[in-house]
Amino acid sequence: MIINVISRKLFLSTAIICCFVSNNIKAQTAKNSKKISPDLFGLFFEDINYAADGGLYAELVQNRSFEYGPTERSGWNPLSYWEYACLGFSYGQLSVETNEPVHRNNPHYVVLNVEHVGHEAKYAGLSGVGMKNSGYDGMVIKAGEKYSFSMFAKLLSGKSIKMKVILESKSGALLASDSFTVDSKEWQKQTASLQPSASYDTANLIVLATTEGKLAVDEVSLFPEHTFKNRPNGLRADLAQVLADMKPKFIRFPGGCLAHGDGLNNMYRWENTIGPVEQRVQQRNIWGYHQTAGLGYFEYFQFCEDIGAKPLPVLPAGVSCQNTGGTWRIGGTGQKAIPMEEMQAYVQEVLNLVEWANGPATSVWGAKRAAAGHPEPFHLEYIGIGNEDKITPEFAERFKMIFDALKSKHPEIIIVGTVGPSPDGEDFDKGWAIANEIKIPVVDEHYYTDPKWFITHQHRYDSYKRNATQVYLGEYASWGNKLRNAIAEAAYMTALERNGDVVRMASYAPMLAKKGFTQWGTDMIFFDNASICLTPNYYVQKLFSANAGDTYVGNVVVKDDRDSALAASCVQDSKTGDVIVKVVNYDSSKTKKIVVDLSAFKNIQSNAQQIVLVGNANAENSLEKQEAISPVESTVTVGKKFNYDAPPMSLTVVRIKTRKL
Ligand code: AHR
């Protein structure tokens, strides 16, 4: 794609361009610029579609602490994903017990009773009794990389017991092994290191007692040493990296419906997710699987800090998801409310989060953060209260209690309220009425709808009141992962930039989905254990968040404003001085002509970076056919005024420097 310095002749054919040529269009002045939110584009993370356990959280062992159960999924039990292993004509027993657990929050553990160790070797003299874990559909291991094994063990018989830990292929080939001895009568953490000789995508882990005796085992864990930023208990490096590459300004977590939960006992209570992993409260995931809470609040905050994103934790507003008990989805009436006599304690829990995140290491909650290895504060600015809740009197009463307490104790925190699951309707109206009445700084709007809606509603926020409650568009997506969907979202995002004085934040949803384990069809990034598929929607989000600005400048892109298939925006980033023009053509067959007038900017550098995402409207990426659609980058020459032909079904970003390097 070539950008030419404007040729007058070329544009005489359209009215708009005639205006431009005849200088009737106002050159951009300061009047056309306004400050917009510096936090506009970020990420929404929810543990849906195996996004955390089995996904971003790098733990390779599934059901590591034997807490799976039938209330999470029919057929599950504490030994799901484990099988009894006995090698070399050895024999013994394996049972699940709860008498003296590692911690009361982690009640189940396994007792291995090794009655006899035989001598018929499977692997070079190896025999014993133990158990085998198959991970999340097998474990991906890489030759030469190191893997950290750990487990809690306690000797239940007289003599110490020798242990082997092994990685094996599906056909039983030995890929790595290490050994240690259990000799403590108290629970003790044992560690080992495995370095596979070969790469393998579906390995199993075997934990084997190779001498006779009885021991208790819990919290069996295997992590790659190489996690994102090499954090212990860390994140899968490749997945975390594609998120970091987006340069998101914030991350909302932990959901979604997961945040307010399936009934009162299923709410995501942040205090339960910090501290040593073996002591965290695990629970049923509202999306039909298990949450270890291994990826808990500390890890979320750490990840935000690691990638320069502001944390946006969302806490329940004292009520559970209205779809509790399977009344999914819009309009559910299963909402349950924390009894009023327990609300003071709940409000305190919300306040504690601020102290945990921002308080000095000498404070009660700050000390817990420091103990986890982070004495410095996390600089929490935002807290979300509620997730698209049904706006009932019970909700309103509890929300206001939390809001008032937070506002009076921590006026520095920006509170994000909630206005239901849809772009309009009863909950939306009632939610906004509360926001206006008590002056909530920001409210969270959600909508999942078809691409045409995004094209026809580009003016939604133009008429929102300024200097009042702002909007966090916390969940949105058009129905699909084809290029057409992504380009419709891109058009809408130019309108979010134009309204960046009222739309403070926006995040696409959901973010991650593991192939074969999804509960939500349209997602931003698909993955399996070995690879990642970046959808066209991902690329659109990345192009906007990595090319964001803090000033919106109007009248830079001259185009036919009656054509809703053609959208554009221009922002400037005060940190770099760069001017960023985005042009979106949603028409699948016609090229659209526009003019870019940069005359209001000083020091325009002629070498600009251009990135174009373009293709067939129905094209999409998949794990099998990677990168059918991906952005193409080039260097182009620009002048103060230039024309551009936006290709059919495309997003173009032009990044122009105003400072000499
Ligand atoms: O993003 C998936 C779900 O959609 C979220 O959990 C919920 O908030 C919304 O209904």
pLDDT of residue 333: 79
Burial class of residue 250 (count of CB atoms within 10 Å of its CB; 0-12, 13-18, 19+):
buried
Q: How far apart are CA 544 and CA 365, in angstroms?
A: 37
Q: What's the whole-number mean pLDDT along residues 251-255?
A: 98
Same structural domain, 606 and 482? yes
Q: What is the C-alpha separation between 201 and 136, in angstroms, rounded?
A: 11
Q: Whose CA is nearest to atom 1 of ligand 1?
A: 510
pLDDT band at 263 (very low <50, low <70, confident <90, very high): very high
Any domain includes 236: no
26 and 50 share one domain: no
Convert the pLDDT of each residue in 529-552 to its tens digit: 999 999 999 999 999 999 999 999
The CA radius of gyration of the chain, in Å to the nearest whole number, is 28
- Cβ proximity of 533 and 561 under 8 Å: no
**462-474 mean pLDDT:** 97
Q: Tell me: do 262 and 357 sit in the same domain.
A: yes
Q: Is residue 287 part of a domain?
A: yes
Q: Catalytic residues, which ones?
A: 388
CATH value at residue 93:
2.60.120.260
CB of 522 sitting under 6 A from ligand 1: no
Q: Same domain for 175 and 205? A: yes
Could you tell me if residue 76 is inside a domain?
no
User: 92 - beta bridge partners?
Assistant: 114
| pLDDT tens digits, one per residue of 547-574 | 999 999 999 999 998 999 999 999 999 9
**Residue-wise pLDDT tens digits, 599-621:** 989 999 999 999 999 999 999 99
Residue where a domain stops, chosen among 224, 258, 285? 224
Q: Ligand 1: which atom is nearest the Cα of residue 46?
A: 6
Domain boundary among 157, 191, 224: 224
Binned at pLDDT 50, 70 and 90, residue 324 comes out as: confident
- Model confidence band, residue 331 (pLDDT cutoffs 50, 70, 90): low
231 domain-assigned: no
CB of 256 shorter than 6 A to ligand 1 = yes
- Please say if the pLDDT value at position 329 is more than 90: no
Ligand 1, atom nearest to 329 Cα: 10
From 387, 418, 472, 476, give the residue whose CB has the most ligand 1 atoms within 8 Å, as the site to mutate: 387
Domain match, 204 and 279 both:
no
Domain CATH for 319: 3.20.20.80
Query: Do 379 and 272 belong to one domain?
Result: yes
pLDDT band at 23 (very low <50, low <70, confident <90, very high): very low
Q: Is 388 in the pocket of ligand 1 (CB under 6 A)?
A: yes
Centre of ligand 1 from the C-alpha of residue 51, in Å: 13
Please indicate, yes or no, whether residues 28 and 48 belong to a single structural domain of this protein.
no
The verdict on the CB of residue 420 being under 6 Å from ligand 1 is no
Mean per-residue pLDDT of the chain: 93
Flag whether 464 is in a domain: no
- The answer to whether 512 touches 523, Cβ cutoff 8 Å, is yes
User: Does 281 lie in the same domain as 414?
Assistant: yes
Q: How many helices (H) and strands (E) does the chain have?
A: 11, 35
Instruction: Tell me, using a 6 A CB cutoff, whether residue 210 lines ligand 1.
Output: no
Q: How far apart are CA 361 and CA 397, in angstroms?
A: 34
Report whether residue 389 contacts ligand 1, using a CB cutoff of 6 Å: no
pLDDT of residue 29: 40
Q: What is the DSSP letter of 351?
A: H
Q: Is 212 left (phi over 0), alpha (psi -120 to 50) or beta?
A: beta
In terms of domains, do 30 and 50 share one? no
State how far the Cα of 565 lies from the Cα of 89, in Å rounded to an integer.
Answer: 71
Range of the domain at 20: 1-36+476-493+519-661
Same domain? For 485 and 367 the reply is: no
For a ligand 1 pocket test, name from 253, 257, 260, 537 the mutation site with the most ligand atoms within 8 angstroms of its C-beta: 257
pLDDT level of residue 323 (50, 70, 90 thresholds): confident
* pLDDT score at 125: 66
Of all protein residues, the one whose alpha carbon is nearest to atom 8 of ligand 1 is 256
pTM above 0.85, yes or no: yes
* 350 and 441 assigned to the same domain: yes
Q: Residue 2 has what pLDDT?
A: 36
pLDDT tens by residue, 402-424: 999 999 999 999 999 999 999 99
CA nearest to 458, candidates 522, 503, 520: 503
pLDDT at residue 126 in the model:
82
In angstroms, the Cα distances linking 611 to 74, 553, 579 are: 48, 20, 14
Retrieve residue 137's tokens: 């559909």
Quick one: pLDDT at residue 326?
65
- 542: domain CATH number is 2.60.40.1180
Q: Is residue 506 part of a domain?
A: no
Of the candidates 437, 441, 438, which has an alpha carbon nearest to the alpha carbon of residue 381? 441
Number of domains in the chain: 3
- Domain annotation covers residue 455: no
Cα–Cα distance measured from residue 415 to residue 401, given in angstroms and rounded to the nearest whole number: 13
214 and 314 share one domain: no
